[in-house]
Amino acid sequence: MNFRLSVNGIERHVDVPRSTTLLSVLRNNLGLTGTRYGCGAGQCGACYVLADGRAVASCLTTVEQAASQAITTVEGLALGERLHPVQDAFIAEDAMQCGYCTSGMVMSAAALLERIPHPSEDDIRAALDMHLCRCGVYGRAIRAVKRAAEVGR
139 binds ligand FES (CB under 6 A): no
Q: Which of 34, 45, 85, 119 binds ligand FES (CB under 6 A)?
A: 45
| Residue 113 or 133 with smaller CB distance to ligand FES | 133
109 binds ligand FES (CB under 6 A): no
| Residue 59 or 144 with smaller CB distance to ligand FES | 59
Integer Cα distance of 24 and 72 in angstroms = 15
Smallest distance from the beta carbon of 94 to ligand FES, in angstroms?
Answer: 10
Smallest distance from the beta carbon of 133 to ligand FES, in angstroms?
Answer: 3
Pair type for strands 2-7 and 70-72: parallel
Exposure pattern of 50-67 as b/e (b: 16+ CB <10 Å)?
A: bbeeebbbbbebbbeebb
Stretch that binds ligand FES, among 68-76, 84-92, 98-106, 111-119 (CB under 6 A): 98-106
Integer Cα distance of 69 and 75 in angstroms = 17
Integer Cα distance of 136 and 84 in angstroms = 23
Q: Kindly compute the dihedral angle of the four CA atoms of residues 57, 43, 107, 24, in this order, to the nearest 10 degrees.
A: -40
44 binds ligand FES (CB under 6 A): yes
Task: Confirm if 107 and 87 have CB atoms less than 8 A apart.
Answer: no
Q: Which of 78, 98, 116, 151 binds ligand FES (CB under 6 A)?
A: 98
Q: Which runs of consecutive H residues, i.e. helices, occur in 31-101?
A: 63-66, 85-92
Q: Which of 17, 53, 99, 117 binds ligand FES (CB under 6 A)?
A: 99
133 binds ligand FES (CB under 6 A): yes
26 binds ligand FES (CB under 6 A): no
- Residues found near ligand FES in the complex (CB under 6 A): 37-40, 42-47, 57, 59, 96-102, 133-135, 137
